[in-house]
Structure 1
Amino acid sequence: MDNTEKDNVESRHRKEKKELQGRIQLLKKTATKGDKKKKKEVSDEIARLEQELEKKHSEELAQLEAIDTCTVNSELNDMVENLERIPSNFKEVPMRVTKAQKRRDKKAQHEKEREQEIKEQEKLNVYGARNLEIQKIKSILKEKNLMVYEIPTDGNCLYCAVDHQLTQIGDPALGLEKLRVLTSKILLENVDDYLPFMSHPETGGLLTEEQYKDYCNKVATTSAWGGEIELQALARVLKRRIQVIQAEGPFVTVGEEFPADKQLMLTYHRHMYGLGEHYNSVKPYEEPVEETS
């Protein structure tokens, strides 16, 4: 196994564990004092998140081991195939594979692997976590007479989803760039409220004030992905309650100090894309249009 690759994965795992702790602290804040039901829901959600992250990390480490094993097996298979091509009188007839034959063999192997990937992906599309998650979210939304409004996955999904929701409640859209700038400003003006929940992506330690300012600058000027910290800041700057619907666990609501009559609603997807977490918006439910042949 490539030690550098393993180190990178372990470093990311430390970062994700640190971020989960920050997320857990935010979840705990949503539990109103004295509300035993909400407190239990939050406790169950925290336990689920911890178990899910531990499972994910175990699977990724196992996958690294499997890739290493597959590489060794592939090399052994290549050696066996080359030996089988050697004629019995190899001492008199030296074996030489032409470049053209190597290209043909490589192409045939690639096509074989691709066919296997397609078969496996077809199974995942039906039974995989991504499909099960989206079907569960669609079912929840349909009960509310809503449906998913797809947002592109380019790092701006949280801000674009919030901007779309503003139009859904009758407010003017502010645009991606302005929402990012406003979010950054709130984070900078309320350091004590957010800094304790931020961690360095490489070391896993708490950010210094300088690193925190750099983080806020990236929020405003790049397509850096937004998470629960930015969600809290958006609710604060827009003075809007924001509810996040997810397939598993209780809905997450931030900005509960603001009125519920113009609440923004997002969907949170853990498995929608290869990079993982993603936010979509919602819109009024529409019956699917059947295609005519």
Structure 2
Amino acid sequence: MEDEIVETPEEQLAKQHRKEKKDMQAKIQSMKNAIPKNDKKRRKQMTEEISKIEADLSQKHEEELRQLKSTNDTEVEEVLNGVETMKMEGGEEEKGEEARQPRLTKAQKRRDKKAAEEKEREGRIAEAEVQNLQGVRHQEGLKLAQKLAQQQLQIKEISSDGHCMYRAIEDQLAQRSKPGLIMGMKELRSRTAEYMRGHADDFLPFLTNPNTGDMYTADEFEKYCSDAEHTAAWGGQLELRALTQVLQLPMEVIQADSPTIKIGEEFDSEPIITLVYMRHAYGLGEHYNSVERLKDPANAEDS
């Protein structure tokens, strides 16, 4: 009878990692199959989720390899310590027995604690993945897609870098405006701050110090305008009102659970700037996106 082949801990871990990677690929394929190819918004979100799943598994595998190496090193150290102890106790049988008993070292305690924390973290990640597919961000995306489809529109993603509102308007102008109205993000910020400075009375009543509740002072208002012009300060409804005056164009802001906000309706002209406001985008909170014409589902994947 042939001897049974005994795998080393390294070989066992490598086999486990191969199985986990295979399971992950199957899960990813299932996620891809669950989302229609023409649903660009959800497929982009899915891509981000897949990247996170892959990164988490890679980090887990690296940590397990480090733990295995650390365990091997500790075992060698414990053997050497045991031999040294036996020499010192020279023939005292009872003490020799105690020396041979496995001892829980501080290093092992740290590893056990870390392994427990890692297991708990993986559980939270798995739960978050399920909640994400069924959670508020996913539901918000579905509602927005339905609203936009009624206007033959779909979301056009804008990077979430603090400039999203201005970049979304920049994109809208590039899509729909006459060449003379095309402006970049920096110019839009500059023109917004310039208009607000020149019409302070229209904006000051809506700006209050969060600590005192008092209306902004002149210095505080100037800092607000300076931040709007020179930093990545997030833009909101006040800045949108200023921009409707700068551009002399009406705007509409579409939301999932609230009526569409219309600004600058006194400018009864084309084009209308259309933005999408999201409360739960990318786990970062509030975010603005642009829109574009709804693509033909048959050609969406190739576009």
CA distance in 2, matches of 1:105, 1:176: 52
Aligned to 1:167: 174
SS of residue matched to 1:247? coil
Corresponding residue number in structure 1 for 2:235: 226
Which residue in the other structure is 1:258 paired with? 267
Q: Residues 113 and 174 of structure 1: is their aligned pair in 2 closer, same or farther, counting only changes over 3 Å? A: same
Partner amino acid for 2:171? H
The CA RMSD over aligned residues, in Å, is 2.3
Hey, what's the Cα distance between the residues in 2 that align with 1:219 and 1:183? 8
Q: 1:273 to 1:205 in 2, by over 3 A?
A: farther
With over 3 angstroms needed to count, the CA separation of the structure-2 counterparts of 1:123 and 1:205, relative to structure 1, is farther
Alpha-carbon deviations, 1:160-219, whole Å to 9, x = none?
Answer: 000000012133431111100000001100000001001224444321111000110000
Larger radius of gyration: 2
TM-score (structure 1 length as normaliser): 0.63
3-state DSSP of counterpart to 1:187: helix
2:151 to 136, 140, 144: 144
8 Å CA contact 2:255–2:276 kept in 1: the answer is yes
Aligned-residue offset at 1:248: 1.2
Using the aligned pairs only, state the percent identity.
45
CA–CA distance in structure 2, aligned partners of residues 190 and 96 of structure 1: 76
| Aligned match of 2:251 | 242
Q: Which amino acid aligns with 2:272?
A: Q
Structure-2 separation of matches of 1:168 and 1:290: 18
- The answer for the alignment partner of 1:118 in structure 2 is 125
Cα deviation digits, residues 116-137 of structure 1 (max 9, x gap): 2222222222221111011100
The one-letter code matched in structure 2 to 1:191 is A
Amino acid corresponding to residue 255 of structure 1 in structure 2: G
The amino acid of 1:187's aligned partner reads: M
After the TM superposition, list the runs of 4 or more consecutive aligned residues in structure 1 that deviate by more than 6 angstroms.
Answer: none
Q: Which residue of 2 aligns with 1:279?
A: 288
Q: Which residue of 2 aligns with 1:58?
A: none
Pairing partner for 1:107 from 114, 118, 123: 114
- Quick one: distance in 2 between partners of 1:201 and 1:134? 32
Secondary structure of the equivalent of 1:206?
Answer: coil
In structure 1, distance between residues paired with 2:227 and 2:301: 44
Match of 1:265, SS?
strand
Check the 8 A contact 2:168/2:275 in 1, yes or no.
Answer: yes
- Cα deviation per residue 1:233-260 (whole Å; 9 max; x = unaligned)? 1111111101000011210010111124
Alignment partner of 1:182 is 2:222: no
Cα deviation code 1:129-165 (max 9, x no counterpart): 1110111001111111110000111110000000000
Quick one: which of 189, 200, 224 aligns to 2:209?
Answer: 200
Change (3 A) 1:210 1:127: same
Partner SS, residue 160 of structure 1: helix
| Consecutive unaligned residues in structure 1, runs of 5 or more | 1-91
* SS of alignment partner, residue 274 of structure 1: coil
Q: Which amino acid aligns with 1:111?
A: E
Write the letter of the residue equivalent to 2:132: N
Assess, with a 3 A threshold, how the Cα gap between structure 1 residues 274 and 202 changes in structure 2: closer, same or farther: farther
Q: TM-score, normalised by structure 2?
A: 0.61
Q: Deviations over 1:54-76 (max 9, x none)?
A: xxxxxxxxxxxxxxxxxxxxxxx
In structure 2, the gaps of 5 or more residues are 1-97
Instruction: Please list the CA deviations of residues 82-107 of structure 1 after superposition, one character each: whole Å capped at 9, or x if unmatched.
Output: xxxxxxxxxx99x9853422442243
Query: Which has the higher mean CA deviation after the structures are superposed, 201-210 or 262-271?
Result: 201-210
Per-residue deviation, residues 34-65 of structure 1 (Å, max 9, x unmatched): xxxxxxxxxxxxxxxxxxxxxxxxxxxxxxxx
* Partner secondary structure for residue 235 of structure 1: helix
State the distance in 2 between where 1:183 and 1:268 align: 19
Is the partner of 1:268 in helix, strand or coil? strand
Aligned-partner residue type, residue 183 of structure 2: L
- One-letter identity of the residue aligned with 2:148: L
The whole-number CA distance in structure 2 between the counterparts of 1:291 and 1:114 is 35
